[in-house]
Structure 1
Amino acid sequence: MGGKPKAATADRLLDAGEYGGAGDGTAEQPHYHGHRERLRARFLGQGAEALQDYELLELLLFVIPRRDVKPLAKQLLRDFGGLWAVVNAPVERLQSYAQMTEGAVSALKVAGAVALRMARQEVLNKPVLSSWQKLLDYCAAAMAHQEVEQFRLLFLDRKNTLIADEVQQRGTVDHTPVYPREVVRRALELGASALILVHNHPSGDPTPSRADIDMTKQIVAAAQALGVVVHDHLVIGKGRHVSFKSAGLL
């Protein structure tokens, strides 16, 4: 009847924060006893603003059973540089961490996907001029942490409402092949009157290259010939961006 609980029962109690302390017939409590319940309660009671980034990450990592995941959360933030970078990290890199389970990787990727989809919904089917900062935030969220170049097209109607958002090409770490005819053809298929071009620089430096400038001129010329306006070309880096229009390049 008495004595220590079986291993499976002990693991379950430890994960739930209910493991008994020394002197009551059970093993000594771990230093993080009850931490998961306290952190969840603080999140539900006070909201995300009451938690630091590593604590929000811990909540996602609680799918890892019977472990203190605070050190892992802090290590991920150090290694990747921020919360958004963690949830957008390549699956292979996340899997390289010893404690990282398949469930934990999935939880991180789902969190990133949900956040990105919500950001997209904030700008799709809305006039871009009245939601410009949200558009920039969305582009940064979608592209700033990509490891290869990505060329994205934002299609607008006559009222400058964003009607479609598509990735046309993916390239290498420093080059994406772009074909002006394909850009214009897609705009005509969608009935778009205007375009915003967007691509990222995985290096983090959004300074346009000569190739970026030449490519933009080719697209502008091809679009103008068919009555499609190119409003801007945004180059997304890490933490900043360059607008061709603002820089006098368009």
Structure 2
Amino acid sequence: MNDYRKEELKKLISKCLRERPGSYQVQQLFEQFPTTAELIDVSEQQLMSIKGIGRGKCRQLTAMLELAKTLSVPTQNQQTIRSPKDAFDLLEPDFRHSTKEHFTCLFLNTKNRLIFKEVISIGSLNSAIVHPREVFRAAIKRCSASLICSHNHPSGDSTPSPEDIELTKRLVSAGEIVGIEVLDHIIIGESSFVSLKEQGLM
């Protein structure tokens, strides 16, 4: 997906819709789905919510986007998460200068290869409010086999709070119900992290 620059994808979509790149329909698509990854994973229902895109155009777009998805990311280049340190190395740059808590998930396939990284919730200075339904809605959309949850502590102290532990247990229970395993919850502080899995807290 990252190999498809936005302008290239816009040209493909314009040809598919037989519209100019700056037309209403094309602009609406890129306003509602601003990142390439979001656009490539858009559903038929979401496409048909845009005025002027009927079932015929929707099917053409879906087929074109599916082809773009297939061609854009070679499987062997997908990052494999083998340990909490792998997850930390991937996530830490995103959290490094954040003054608010961000709750982010890594969605993985059956071989623990990264499908997608997504910010699920942004909280206040010391609280990131997230509900299991938000996490698993995103996981199901990405066709995930498993996931790793993470959030940062802007204070710099990566020690899990009682609320962190309770949330993790709720997520694990919800994952068991829907069949998507929660592999770990990584809490990231200042150049440090705690794995709740390694600590036996989940």
TM-score in same-fold range (> 0.5): yes
Alignment partner of 2:97: what SS?
coil
| Structure 1 contact 145–238 (Cα < 8 Å) conserved | no
Q: Does 1:153 align with 2:109?
A: no
| Structure 1 contact 152–198 (Cα < 8 Å) conserved | yes
> In the aligned structure 2, how far is the partner of 1:140 from the partner of 1:237?
9
> For the structure 1 residues 156 and 235, does the alpha-carbon distance in structure 2 shift closer, same or farther, using more than 3 Å as the test?
same
What 5-or-longer segments of structure 2 have no aligned partner?
A: 1-76
Partner of 1:191: 143
Partner of 1:128: 81
Q: Deviations over 1:121-153 (max 9, x none)?
A: xxx822211x76443222111113210000001
Q: Does 1:238 align with 2:198?
A: no
Q: Which has the larger radius of gyration?
A: 1
Question: Between Structure 1 and Structure 2, how many residues are aligned?
Answer: 126
Q: Does 1:220 align with 2:172?
A: yes
| Structure 1 contact 150–167 (Cα < 8 Å) conserved | yes
What 5-or-longer segments of structure 1 have no aligned partner?
A: 1-123
Q: Does 1:208 align with 2:160?
A: yes
> In the aligned structure 2, how far is the partner of 1:145 from the partner of 1:226?
34
Aligned-pair Cα RMSD in Å: 1.5
Identity across the alignment (%): 40
> For the structure 1 residues 207 and 155, does the alpha-carbon distance in structure 2 shift closer, same or farther, using more than 3 Å as the test?
same
List 4+ stretches of structure 1 deviating above 4 A: none
| Structure 2 contact 84–186 (Cα < 8 Å) conserved | no
The offset of 1:173, in angstroms, is 0.5
Q: Deviations over 1:86-138 (max 9, x none)?
A: xxxxxxxxxxxxxxxxxxxxxxxxxxxxxxxxxxxxxx822211x76443222
**What does 1:1-250 correspond to in 2, within 5 Å?**
125-129=78-82, 133-250=85-202
> In the aligned structure 2, how far is the partner of 1:210 from the partner of 1:147?
21
Partner of 2:6: none
Q: Higher relative contact order at CA 8 Å, sep ≥6: structure 1 or structure 2?
A: 2
